[in-house]
Structure formats: C-alpha cells, structure tokens
Amino acid sequence: MNKMLEQLKIDSEFEKVIPPISLAEFVQLEENILTDGQILTPIAVWDGVIVDGHNRFKILQKHPHIPYTIKEMNFENRYEAIAWMCNQQLGRRNLCPEHFKYLIGRRYSAEKQIKRLRDEKGQYLPGGHDDHLDDGLKTSERIAQEIGKSERYVRRAENFADGLDIAEEIMPGVKEKVLHGEVKIQHWDVESLRRSALDDRPEKVKSIFSSKAEPYDERKTTEMIIGGALHGAIIQLVSNLGNYFARFPMIISEESFRQDVRAEFEELKKYIAEFEEFLDEGERKSQENIPDGNEVSPQNNTDL
C-alpha cells in the first residue's frame, strides 16, 4: 500500500452517515473498478479524513495497485462536512424511502448546527458552503422546498434518523436491513425511539424489530374506525382537558401556568401534525400510484 493511502483515515461518525451497501453491491462495485482499471471518482478528503469514497477506499486497500485520485475538501467544521456528505449521497444514488429519509434527517441535523454556529459568529462561515442558509427561511422550510416535501416531513426525518441510530446501537445490523428494505417497519415506531426513556429503549427496539406484525384485516380495521374507537379516543382527550381546566382555574388566571399549558399544547400540535403527514403521504401515493421503494443498483464505480 502506498504512503498516501496509508495516511487516509476513516471517521466512525462520518462513515455512519453513509447508507451501508450490501455485500452484493460491494462485490459489483469492486468488479466495476477492476474492469475499469482505475477509480474513476476521486476520494474526497478533509484534513486526511475520508468524507466521500469509503467503499472505494476499502477496495483500494485490497487492490492498492489501482490508480486513484484524491480531492481535498475545505470545511469549517464537522457539521459542514456531514451536510455535504448527505447531499452527495442524495444526488447520487437511487434511494428507497428509508434511505432518503435517513439522509434528509442527518442533513437537517447538521445544517441546523451550521446555522447556529454562523448566527453565534454573526457572519457567514468561510468557504461559501453555507451561503444558501442565509435566505430568511427556517432550515426545515428550506430543505422542504428543495426536496418537494412538507416541513413536517423534514422534522420527522430527523427523528427517524436518530431513532434508527438508537436502534442500531441496541441491535446492531438493523439499520442496514431497514435502509435496504429487508425489514419493513412503521416509521412512526422508529421516530418515537428518540422520545423514549433510555431504560425503555431496549425493549421497544426488540418489539419493533423482532415481533411479527399482525396481518392486516380490513374488516376489523373498518369496524374499529366506524365503530367509533378513534372518535371515542378524541372525545376522551377533549373531556380530560375540559376537566383539567375546570378543576384548576389557575391554568387560565395565572400567566406562568398559561405558558406551561401553551407549551404542552405545542407538543400536542406536533403529534397531530405528524399524524396528518401520514394521511397526506398516503393520499399522495394513492394519487400518483407511487411504489413503496426502489432497488438500489450501482451501475458503475462512480456511484459510491
């Protein structure tokens, strides 16, 4: 192995951002590189750390004689590097919905931090990588406009990405299966892991990824909705809230209590908005006849 190759490093946090490829995809990428006789796409590096080309680097370690090039990147901080990595992947690969949502979530997290650092400095970060952040929009709004989805989707994507990383720490291997479509799960379940208590997470992860889902029964589902279970749950919530306001008049009369209640209501609105997003997504898929996912299939060694 040549000296330059030996000096390249893999950062575990950066590597975690890149959606894992399957063994079959890795073998195909290796065969494409050997056929071409070179690495067509440069390995992007920031201060000696790989930010794009992790799989190509691993193949080079097996075949150090293959010609390759290095592209030096200029980032102000790790968040800027992560946001760039996510955008590279989003623009390069034929992603299934889980892959796409995970990358959007990681990008959103990183760009929020970039904006926070920029605001603290009161200036643009050097390098021009974040000039687009100064457009008067919230980070979630700007990303939503770029990808053609709702702001709620972007916020939920961050919860999904965090939840999937939590699940991976508890049950190694599940992340790759989810991002390859091998395991079908409810996105809401994964997103909820972020809000779960630390002690509750292992059991919840086991429940999400180990249990077999009950077969869908249209008749039972219809009876549940038409029978009023959902309506009854909403009525119960409204009734409980009414009782609290009646029993505790200070909720209305004292400013500190009003503020606390408004904060709780904001959280409730977020939950309702997330459920509305499920309905919107279902309606959109019905109208456009969108399939559940797409196969990821690298065509040449520029893909990964």
H-type alpha helices, the chain: 3-7, 12-17, 23-36, 54-62, 78-92, 97-121, 139-147, 151-170, 174-179, 187-192, 201-210, 218-226, 229-247, 250-253, 255-288
Confidence of residue 181 (pLDDT cuts 50, 70, 90): confident
Q: Taking 90 as the threshold, does the pLDDT of residue 67 lie above it?
A: yes
Residue 302 has pLDDT above 60, yes or no: no
What is the domain partition of the chain in residue ranges?
A: 3-72, 79-210, 220-278
Percentage above 90 pLDDT, the chain: 39
- pLDDT of 296 reads 36
Could you say which DSSP state residue 228 is in?
T
d(CA 94, CA 298): 8
d(CA 37, CA 31): 10
What is d(CA 153, CA 102) in angstroms, rounded to the nearest whole number? Answer: 11
Q: What is the pLDDT of residue 217?
A: 56
Q: Is the pLDDT of residue 256 over 90?
A: no
The per-residue pLDDT for 160 is 95
Global pTM reads: 0.68
User: pLDDT per residue over 144-171, tens digit each?
Assistant: 999 988 898 999 999 999 999 999 999 9
- Average pLDDT estimate for 7-29: 86
C-alpha dist (Å) from residue 81 to 42, 50, 113, 216, 236: 16, 10, 12, 43, 48
pLDDT of residue 277: 73
**What number is the average pLDDT over the span 88-117?**
89
Average pLDDT taken over every residue of the chain: 81
Strand-by-strand arrangement of the 70-72 sheet: 49-52, 43-46, 70-72
pLDDT tens-digit map of 182-203? 888 888 899 999 888 999 999 9
Mean pLDDT of 208-216: 59
Q: Is residue 298 pLDDT above 70, yes or no?
A: no
